[in-house]
Structure 1
């Protein structure tokens, strides 16, 4: 009996890992590509390898787009409706702690609530704040004033990943 239980547990773990791997690659086929604009970029950290820490303009939700509860707890799941502009960059159209209806042009993305700032803006995190880059290429991302367009894929099951990072030519 213990032996069967052991093999079932091992089999479920393997199945879970295979499922995670497959879902990561299926995102490219079934996911929707969105473009987000960064607010600022931090330089890479020598302890974590070469990565860029990103913050997005879309992580600041103005009060007129907030349709959720007044009192939110940190890391509570929220839904954000993003609509593309004429350049293809997605912007916040609505946000709530209740599930939002899909929109023809836009996409509903899940985020985690962070806090309400002194201007009344709601701050959220999409969970795509690190973009790992090739080793020893971090110096090109070290300029804090440079802004980027992030191309990300959002799968129908809610998983998100960054595909590319392009500097904005100003």
Structure 2
């Protein structure tokens, strides 16, 4: 007996074409979930920022103190690469961190994965003048941890504190990947 072509099951290519995009989307959630549920919790200081947009829904615009790194902490060969190509879209880097009181500080910026377990991945951009220390050479690092969504109606107070640099951010870190889990007034 022959199968009716109208009622046949889809072939294997149909299932592959269906499952590949679903697999790709699911794989994008693995690293954030590993950091969120198995990562080490650290607290980061913020520095004042005056955002262009106050709300996208309700969120707090953050600028982390570890985003502005003194040139002495960047490996020399990496600094030379950045200075030779200042129009680059950012150099992938590993930022080694060390606990310092209730927060963490940057100890080294490198292209090589550090031996320590406490580090973040980021993108390094050419140096700029520091807002705090005139004439001091700094590099900027983007960790993609600059926006935190809050319950509706609660963003304005945190936004005001953030502009004054009086907010701390709690981040879960695992394998260099960070997930922003809480924003709170600094003690």
TM, length-normalised to structure 2: 0.76
Query: Are 1:77 and 2:85 an aligned pair?
Result: no
Task: Give the equivalent residue in structure 2 for 1:123.
Answer: 140
Question: Matched residues in 1 for 2:114 and 2:30: separation?
Answer: 28
Question: Matched residues in 1 for 2:65 and 2:125: separation?
Answer: 14
Q: Which structure has greater helix proportion?
A: 2
Residue 27 of structure 1 is aligned with which of 30, 35, 57?
35
Instruction: Render the CA deviation track for 1:59-116: whole Å, top value 9, x for unaligned.
Output: 111122111231323322011111001x2311010112x214323xx61211111221
Residue 171 of structure 2 is aligned with which of 141, 152, 164?
152
Number of aligned residue pairs: give it: 162
User: Could you say which structure has the larger radius of gyration?
Assistant: 2
Question: Matched residues in 2 for 1:92 and 1:135: separation?
Answer: 33
Structure 1 unaligned residues grouped into runs of 5+: none
Question: Matched residues in 2 for 1:107 and 1:23: separation?
Answer: 16
Query: Are 1:45 and 2:54 an aligned pair?
Result: yes
TM, length-normalised to structure 1: 0.83
Query: Are 1:5 and 2:23 an aligned pair?
Result: no
Structure 2 unaligned residues grouped into runs of 5+: 1-9, 83-87, 130-135
Instruction: Render the CA deviation track for 1:17-39: whole Å, top value 9, x for unaligned.
Output: 23333543332332121211001
CA shift in 2, pair 1:9/1:42, >3 Å: farther
